[in-house]
Chains A and B, each alone.
Chain A
């Protein structure tokens, strides 16, 4: 941030709810089907059809509200947002305006100094998605794919509490984690299941009054969001410092050029003529319903992270990594349950080797080629000294390549650690005999050479000798 300036950011997140059918019809929400094969008469806005609310979206919105410590409205109302667009079949979008289902929530994030910071969540409301206009391949015309029309969205609106692009991303990541924890969205940003618009304004540090904001659209990855906001901050500050003024407008982020450009100004904005949708009754939910949902709430990321630190004694950073997704946390706990080794060792294997392998492939934990039980098996063989940590890396790679579980690979490859002292002594004697000058130097005080001898012994045993024993026997014998 340029000295003397402050940025004010508020985010609007559109998260697609993971229901099987649409918000107001029975059509499937599955992604990637042939155009217009998942749009029924209701989605197509045919004459005479009527919307019927999918109860599942109310449950999901309720869970979200509870997760962000918000008020879940006992009565919320769907309203029509009227505007014409070819991919909006009814000529209006069913959304919520005055009485949204979730209000007054909050989310804690870490600010730049590592302190906890509260970000207010103004509201979260339910609405239907529009279809998609397709401009390629129609020679001077546009195609319309209405598969997405009627897909349920939860729009989560934050207070303008964010003060940097980094905070914005931290907040977004947290919301992203939560919706996936709750199982209410797959959070897939490539497929558009988790989209974000940012309202950005700048003001001289210390000024109370907000500057004129612009709304940034088309932010479909965490990286782009950060870059777009930073670009926009610079643009606005430059503009004001050069004596200009910021115009209230919608700007599109172009990731190829890393810049934002004007899409439409406030003057061109639609009058959406919102009014309550007379086809739908107000959504009324009871305290009892909310309590029932509360009981189904999974453990949330912050609580889980704290528990991993306290119960398993994990390092803070490791606990944070392992609780980034519910699936990863579950995987970790499954490994811990199946091994006698310490939880930290299990964590090290997951964070180091397993996540490394997954990242190489661009995969999620659910795609892992090694099950939690199998990874625990590997950790157990280290713990009981069957193999060394170094051999274990070799076994891990073999497991990743699908060669079997740890025991089978150790057996097949003959990787079992040599712990028989007499066998190790024999190798040590051989090494000492073969390297008389080094022995002499060592005995003259060049302790560093210990590594040389250990390496030789390990080389002779194909890495299978127990390193602890090797060290001890070498020390004894080298004393002379």
Chain B
């Protein structure tokens, strides 16, 4: 039997179908692998061994009955931001270290209904605020390609889990790049769909108008498969969009002949690591060789995306995180003297520095006298950025560029410099501000660290992004490369 952990979701699916192995065997193999290697990487907040084995048994029984869901018996991991009934849902925070969710997120429910087996909940930046996984209450995740480096963030546990072959697929969430940047830094595929494509119900909110769930996998084909299950309207989320979900796996097979690829000049400015830029340009050249045409497009307001984001996201987070007050759930300070003391110490002790920084920034930009100058202005700029993209997509089908300015950085390098850390998301934030779908695909290495190619499309163009990524992966094998220590 071929090593199970090296196979993609699609390959494993075929193996299960051919009865080469059972879901229980597959689940046990991966759980063993996790037990052996997790300590090196700190990927998991919770390993759900018993639940996983029970789910695998149910999947095998379902298969025996001929009753198989789209993901029957296939192992996945969830970012610990998704509420899972009866299982700790920490959001990477001390605040929720004791929180056992009484319900399942819609994403969790849908994947379970399709037969997926959940191996555990992955580590993440606290409340998804961070780009390196260093803000987690549970300590940083390490990059499987270099244990001294960050796997990116905030979905760093999910990206590391997939890169280290702990699981073929992981869920993630992306508010400013939190799926795509970790995917780029770990040599995996990460897609953030159109805002509203996947339900946010049960996904602990960071910045509601930017948050979107997506997946991290090794192949675009697997991403298409998972996304097809996760996407769709949810009456419990008013911002989810009621539009049919295409069969992404059927659409990825078509050639990209004639696909118009936009290139944004600013994305290759001084902020970009030179070698990273070379890899990305090679990838774009490869797309051209496959029949795509490139066009330079102009996004005049894109340089304002980072400051805009760091007004809008903290504003929303300052309000979203108000419910963590020590009263009904989560961390509660010991022996409070009075109500104010209960609030101040529960929040003071329960939240980490980065979360506090953003709450305070957010409260500031929303406060009387500053609202117009910051929040309102940022919303206006946000509209301009969305307008830029709209104009660009009148001329091109996708926009290609680097996902992150450089390969994985060393843990500790940027942790004391929030601005440097924030700049890691400079290429990804625009898609969140405009609600656009975007994907990161492995496109080579710099000093044995992976580099990601970033593709952004117009609203609901997930099919084009997945197709472009899949066709590219048919011509390349960067996504098949496995970190030395995790063969």
Contacts and interface: CB of A to CB of B under 8 A. Distances in A.
Nearest to B339: A86
Contact of B91 (A47, A51, A279): A47
Interface string A370-391: 0000000000000000000000
Contacts of B327: 86, 89, 144
Contacts of A92: 319, 322
Interface string B308-343: 000000011011011111011110000000010001
A90 B323 contact: yes
B350 to A, nearest CB: 13
A273 B83 contact: no
Contact of B203 (A48, A51, A84, A280): A48
B208 A82 contact: no
Interface string A400-420: 000000000000000000000
B316 A278 contact: yes
A273 B96 CA distance: 25
A279 B375 CA distance: 17
Nearest to A270: B368
A44 B328 contact: yes
Contacts of B319: 80, 82, 91-92, 273, 275
By CB atoms of chain A within 10 A, which of B101, B207, B323 has the most? B323
A210 interface: no
A53 interface: yes
Nearest to A81: B319
Given A92-B319, A271-B368, A280-B238, A48 B202 contact: yes
A30 B82 CA distance: 32
A91 B366 CA distance: 15
Contacts of A44: 328
B239 interface: yes
B160 interface: no
A415 B207 CA distance: 79
B89 interface: yes
A44 B324 CA distance: 11
B19 interface: no
- Contact-residue size bin, chain B (C-beta under 8 Å from the other chain): 35 or more
Interface in A36-59: 41, 44-53
Given A271-B367, A278-B209, A279-B239, A48 B201 contact: yes
Interface in B87-141: 89, 91, 96, 99, 101-103, 105
A80 B320 CA distance: 10
A47 B236 CA distance: 14
A281 interface: yes
B371 interface: yes
Nearest to A146: B328
A43 to B, nearest CB: 11
B105 A48 contact: yes
A50 B83 contact: no
Given A46-B103, A50-B236, 10 more contacts: A47-B96, A50-B201, A50-B237, A51-B238, A53-B238, A91-B319, A91-B323, A273-B371, A275-B375, A281-B239
23 contacts: A46-B102, A47-B91, A47-B99, A47-B101, A47-B324, A50-B200, A50-B236, A50-B237, A53-B238, A80-B319, A82-B318, A84-B322, A86-B327, A90-B322, A91-B319, A91-B323, A273-B318, A273-B363, A273-B371, A275-B319, A278-B208, A279-B205, A279-B208
Interface of B: 82-83, 89, 91, 96, 99, 101-103, 105, 200-205, 207-209, 235-239, 315-316, 318-319, 321-325, 327-330, 339, 343, 363, 366-368, 371, 375
